[in-house]
Structure 1
Amino acid sequence: MCQLLLLLAIVLAGCKEADEGKGNQMSLMQATNPAPVSIGDKPKDTSTVQKVKEDVMAFDEIYDVAVVKGKKDILVAYKVKHLERFRMKDIEKNITKRLEKDFPKENFTVSSDYKIFLEAVQLKEDMKQPDFSDKQAEKRLKSIISLQKEKT
């Protein structure tokens, strides 16, 4: 009887993971549309990150954007529509030019890397926790930016 219960528990646990895998496979295709976030939440910064997100979403090739503003840097991570992936370098260059033109005083890090996008969304979620300080958020943002710069 004990062996039967153990076997049943293993089978049910195995089935649960298979369902979660399907959701993870589709996450590249689905838009999560995370709200832009500013470390420290100053009203001016909040309006800036909202405008940055709107500027990037204005590109037809883009379907999802995560924007995180720190003290000195703004991280812009985005997802490109599947058929536009052949032009990713051009898209990144165009986004960077537009952002630097519209916000000349800001320092942007722009990335189409999905891992950077996920890290930005995770940082946003972590910032909702009451025990996650602005100092921790700024440190994490800097590590995400350095991760983006070290990619080949």
Structure 2
Amino acid sequence: MGAIHRWVLLACLLVLSSCGQNQQVKDSQLTLMKTTNPSPIVTQKNKSNDHVKDIEQDVSSFPELYDVAVVKGKKDTLVVYKVKHLYRFKMKKIEKNINKMLEQKYPDENFTISSDYKIFLETVRLDEKMKSSKYTAKNAENRFNEIVNMTKDLK
């Protein structure tokens, strides 16, 4: 009887551990559907992010959007957003309006704008990496440039 109980216990532990792994996958997938409101990011450590916060607030003011992330690099500013489901059929118009507003309000900035979920997810991951003390400003700028290039490849 003792050996049977051990096998049953082992089988239960295997089933429970596999359930835990599936839960981790589901949590990462839900990140795309939940509002995360990542803080504005500046890839250079010595730069202030006040200007970037203003950009985030301006873009967040659009009623069609429910989540916005802004990253300021050396040359470019990446604005990534999620569109509410009811407005998804107007995405081109929304992007045009956001671009127009940003160009008028911040003429000296070079904006890259995207509503792609993958780009949003990569931006959130960059934010998480930058919170680590081991992640350098150079690494952040390189990853930022990779994300900006991804947006150009998707268009």
Calculate the TM-score normalised by the size of structure 1.
0.91
1:3-22 pair list within 5 angstroms: 3-22=7-26
Counterpart CA distance in 1 for 2:129 and 2:29 is: 23
Alignment RMSD (CA, Å): 1.6
SS in 1 for 2:111: strand
Counterpart CA distance in 2 for 1:129 and 1:27 is: 20
Counterpart CA distance in 1 for 2:115 and 2:13 is: 41
Calculate the TM-score normalised by the size of structure 2.
0.89
Counterpart CA distance in 2 for 1:92 and 1:81 is: 13
Counterpart CA distance in 2 for 1:131 and 1:26 is: 27
Residue 37 of structure 2 corresponds to residue 33 of structure 1? yes
1:1-152 pair list within 5 angstroms: 1=3, 2-42=6-46, 45-152=48-155
Counterpart CA distance in 2 for 1:42 and 1:102 is: 24
How many pairs are equivalent?
151
Whether the 8 Å CA contact 2:45–2:137 is kept in 1: the answer is no
SS in 1 for 2:74: coil
Which structure has the greater CA radius of gyration? 2
Counterpart CA distance in 2 for 1:128 and 1:86 is: 35
* Unaligned residue ranges in structure 2 (runs of 5+): none
Fraction of identical pairs, as percent? 49
- How far has the Cα of 1:9 moved from its partner? 1.7
- How far has the Cα of 1:25 moved from its partner? 4.5
Instruction: Call closer, same or farther: CA 1:143–1:89 in 2, change over 3 Å.
Output: same
SS in 2 for 1:33: coil
- How far has the Cα of 1:30 moved from its partner? 1.5
Whether the 8 Å CA contact 2:119–2:151 is kept in 1: the answer is yes
Counterpart CA distance in 2 for 1:124 and 1:18 is: 25
Instruction: Call closer, same or farther: CA 1:14–1:79 in 2, change over 3 Å.
Output: same
Counterpart CA distance in 1 for 2:154 and 2:10 is: 45
